[in-house]
Amino acid sequence: MEENPQETLLSLNVDYDAGNILKETVRWTKFISIVSIVGLALVALVLAFAGSYLVSAYSQVFPGILAFGSAIIFVAFVFIAILGFMVYLLFRFSSLVKKGIETQDQGLFNSGLQSLKIYTIICGVFAILSLLGNISKLF
């Protein structure tokens, strides 16, 4: 059985209402990603310039944390990098889907949806890890 390259998986067409919903979704995801990029940059700057001060301040509350200060700062930067990658994926989704809709380019549209797929997979992994962490605190 040969597959027809013109067939679609779901046999759906994007009508006017669906296009408007996608455009609004693109606007919101772009807004959220830009605000997140600014927020992550501010957190990274604070961590870079005041990281040692923050570790010493927390060492008064949690004795022994001072010995792991540089490791804590390193882990924080790794976490910021992961979040930055996620925000980049969200921004890429909004940019490519918008450009795909405007130019009627299915390849750009699909690339944008692929970015959203990777973003949601990473969010799902973090959600599962968070759930497991919270469950482990119960026992």
Q: Is 66 within a domain?
A: yes
- What Cα–Cα distance (Å) separates residue 26 from each residue in 33, 107, 112? 10, 17, 10
Report if residue 109 sits inside a domain: yes
Give me the chain's average pLDDT, please: 87
| Domain presence at residue 30 | yes
Residue 35 placed within a domain: yes
In a domain, residue 134? The reply is yes
**Full domain range(s) for residue 50:** 16-138
Q: Does the pLDDT at position 1 exceed 70?
A: no
Distance CA 33, CA 111 (A): 17
For the entire predicted model, the pTM comes to: 0.80
Residue 45 lies in a domain: yes
Mean pLDDT along residues 66-80 = 83
- What single letter denotes the amino acid at residue 46? V
The structural domain count of the chain equals 1
Average of per-residue pLDDT across 56-65: 74
Q: Which residue has the higher pLDDT, 124 or 13?
A: 124
In a domain, 5, yes or no: no
9 belongs to a structural domain: no
